[in-house]
Amino acid sequence: MEYILITLIVLGITIFICYPFFTKTGSENLFEEDKKNYTEIRKSDLQLLEENKLELYSAIKEIEFDHGLGKLTDEDYKELRESYIYEAAKVVRKIEELSHKNHLSIEDKIEQEIRNSKNISSQIKDGIEEEVKKYRTKKD
């Protein structure tokens, strides 16, 4: 009885492991990295820039959160936030250059991305718009 059990186990395991060789698989990409619509040349650069952009946005939100809890003075908050928005603008500009999407100006892009989060009070949104105008003036 035990030997029958062992035989069944060995057979079952072998079939299970070999099963993928005998079944048709879909044509979807093997790895997630292959799924993105990047050109081969710019694939890794764009992905890194996108990740960098998200990190900077995360940093801005963290600064806003700490300021709300009183851990940053108004001066520190303003200084840090401005510097991260400025860096975010540079990253978005690079993304635009690589992906050739120029129908939005850089500042409009930042504003749209932050607005899309739907997490911003009107007070903060006004603050961001002011910041964006400032950078547009500087750029001009």
Partner 1 sequence: MSETGTISILLAFAITVYGAVASIVGAKTKNRDLIRSSENTAIAICVLLLIATVSLIHGLVNLDFSLKYVALNASTDLPMIYRVTALWAGQAGSLLLWCFILSIYVAIVVYQNSKARKLMTPYVNATLFSVLIFFLILIAFVESPFEKLAFSAEEGRGLNPILQNAYMAIHPVTLYIGYVGVTIPFAFAMGALLSGRLNDDWLKLSRKWILFSWTFLTIGLLLGARWAYLELGWGGYWAWDPVENAAFLPWLTCTAFLHSIMIQEKKGMLKRWNIVLVTITFFLSIFGTFITRSGIISSVHSFAQSNIGPFFLAFIAIILLFSFAMIFYRFDDLKTEARFDSIISRESAFIFNNLLFLGAAFTVFLGTIFPILTEAVQGQKVLVGPPYFNRVNVPIGLVLIFLMGVGPLISWRKASKKNLVNNFMYPVILGLLTSVVLVVLGMREITAIISYSLCAFALTTVFSEFIKGTNVRASRGENYFKAFLKLVSRNKRRYGGYVVHIGVAIIVIGITSSSVFVDTKEATVNPGESFKIGTYTVAYETLHQYSNDAKNGTRADLVLYKNSDRVGYLNPEKNIYKYEGNREINQETEVALRSTFKDDLYIILSNFNEEGTATFRAFLNPMVSWIWAGGIVVLLGAIITMWPTPQLRPQQSFAKYGLGSKDGAVKV
Which residues contact partner 1 (rule: CB under 8 A)?
2-3, 5-6, 9-10, 13, 16-21, 25, 30-33, 47-48, 51, 54-55, 57-66, 68-73, 75-76, 80, 113, 116-122, 124-125
Locate tokens 């500087």: which residue?
A: 138
| Residue whose CB is less far from partner 1, 37 or 122 | 122
Collapsed DSSP state (helix, strand, coil) of residue 28 = coil
What is the dihedral sign for C-alpha 107, 110, 112, 115? negative
| Residue whose CB is less far from partner 1, 115 or 139 | 115
- Please state, in angstroms and rounded to a whole number, the distance separating the CA atoms of residues 116 and 53: 15
The minimum distance between CB 39 and partner 1, in angstroms, equals 18
Locate tokens 């936030």: which residue?
A: 81
Residue (of 120, 118, 122, 92) closest to 107 by Cα position = 92
The minimum distance between CB 140 and partner 1, in angstroms, equals 28
The minimum distance between CB 68 and partner 1, in angstroms, equals 5
The minimum distance between CB 44 and partner 1, in angstroms, equals 10
